[in-house]
Structure 1
Amino acid sequence: MRGGRSAAEYVTCRATVRRLLADFLGSEPADVPLGRRPCPGCGSVDHGPPAVLTPGGGPLLSISHSAGLGMLALSDAPVGVDVEAFRDVPVAELAVAALTPAERNIVLDAPEPHRTGLFLRCWTRKEAVLKAVGIGVTASLTALETKADRPGPVKVTTGPAHSVAATWWVTDLSVPHGWTASLASPTAGGRTITVQAL
């Protein structure tokens, strides 16, 4: 269940997304049919990726928000965006479930505050890829190697455990101090992707 502050942030983020999509589509915010695409893993529309449900199909989109900063990504191809606020994270506890062995070595060997920053970089990269795949954080995070010590773009490969095998290019986004964000797309360039802070 969402806390009051989190629920208010969610509502504000969705209202802003609807307004931006209306500008993009040339319509009124109330006329933007937001919904979900079927989940590629199970076919359910209850938890599939967000979508503009227009008869001709709209842009593919991804939405993320964390502690006062939201991000919207629009593209003509699958796209994923994730943003996380810097905060106290039990990195050592989460590392086994969320990081590959190579990532664990890099992250756990780093001194604070770099350790938390590297962990959140891994997390946003993984979540951006899984959002682009369309399944979100429902599959094994330890199967995605995000090369935590390298600036983006980096190549991340998904396998059968993630519903679809594909190569994704993940870029670190420029965001205000206090957050980290990543964008995943199927190619390193050539696609039109619009990213908007909310």
Structure 2
Amino acid sequence: MTRARLDVWLVRVNEQRPDTLSLALEELDGRERERAERFVGAGDRLRYLAAHIALRRVLALHTGTAPGELRFTRSTCPACGGPHGRPALADETLPVHFSLSHSHGLVLVAVAAAPVGADIQRLPGGGTVEACLPALHPAERAEVERRPEGVRPGEFGRLWTRKEAYLKGIGTGLAHGTSSDYLGADTRGRPPGWTVLDLDLPEDRAYAAAVAVRAQEAGPPEVRERDASFLRAAVPAL
């Protein structure tokens, strides 16, 4: 049975003070800076910049390469063969896989020795849950509908982050479709060859988060938390 090492990082962004000048912008490449400039809202720009600096700094800790020296590429899409699959490090001698997700001031980064996906989202409202139910696998929809209305947002949020984490892991994203694979509460019905785990965020009950790694077994990872200073200070030790 294959067991993959899995490391998860949670970085908190200070959205009350959206000062992008205090971030380590020099660590980003030209493509990242150009994309950041396309965001109209200061908050959206901050979230993008913070997420990508966090990713570079986490990967620097795992690879021993300076954040600004990391180069990225895309794996081949398993659905169409195009160059838009999972993000990957261009240097194939650095044997790590990673996934990035961010939502409303929280950045989630997962790093593993095998293909991995991560997702974090703020819990939806009841109306969003009802609108999205038809997009689920029939068994997933039945699970959510069996729950009392008051707890459906939490149930749906955990389900949806598992689904997005898995779809990121296989490299297709939502283009694969959301109704064909079961990522519900019954682990026996989930896609074979993958371990999908809910993440416990005790200080952030308004969020759901999950990781998916291509392995038969992976223990619940410790979530390493960092505050906004992680995006400015010298790169700390692992």
**Structure 1 partner of 2:76:** 38
Number of the residue aligned with 1:67: 104
Q: Go from structure 1 to structure 2 and tell me whether the alpha carbon gap of 1:189 and 1:63 turns closer, same or farther (over 3 Å shift).
A: same
**Unpaired segments ≥5 residues, structure 2:** 1-37, 227-238
Deviates more, 1:137-146 or 1:35-44: 35-44
Q: Percent identity?
A: 33
Q: Distance in 1 between matches of 2:218 and 2:148?
A: 38
**Inter-partner Cα distance in structure 2 for 1:83 and 1:190:** 19
Distance in 2 (CA, whole Å) between partners of 1:2 and 1:173 is 30
Higher strand share: 1
Q: 1:125 — aligned with what?
A: 162
Deviation for aligned residue 1:189: 2.4
User: Under a length normalisation based on structure 2, what TM-score does the superposition of the two structures give?
Assistant: 0.69
Give deviations 1:52-99, integer Å, cap 9, x for gaps.
1114243011111111111111111111111111232521121112x1
2:217 is the counterpart of 1:189: yes
Residue 138 (structure 2) pairs with residue 110 (structure 1): no
* Corresponding residue number in structure 1 for 2:21: none
Deviating 4+ runs (over 4 angstroms) = 193-198
Q: Deviations over 1:152-193 (max 9, x none)?
A: x66512xxxxxxxx53221111122211111112234268x7
Give the secondary structure class of the aligned counterpart of 1:144: coil
Please tell me whether the aligned partners of residues 79 and 172 of structure 2 are also in contact (alpha carbons under 8 angstroms).
yes
Distance 2:218 2:140 in 1: 29
Separation in structure 1 between the aligned mates of residue 122 and residue 132 of structure 2, nearest angstrom: 16
Query: TM-score scaled by structure 1?
Result: 0.81
Rate the CA distance shift 1:173–1:50 in 2: closer, same or farther, 3 A: same
User: Secondary structure of the equivalent of 2:76?
Assistant: coil
Amino acid at match of 1:186: R
Match of 2:234 in 1: none
Cα distance in 2 for partners of 1:196, 1:44 equals 34
The yes-or-no answer on 1:179 pairing with 2:207 is yes
**What amino acid is the match of 2:210?**
S
* Aligned pairs, number: 185
Match 1:6 to one of 44, 66, 70: 44
Q: Based on CA coordinates, which of the two structures has the bigger radius of gyration?
A: 2
Q: Where in structure 2 are the equivalents of 1:76-115 lying within 5 Å?
A: 76-88=113-125, 90-97=128-135, 99-115=136-152
1:197 deviation in Å? Answer: 5.0
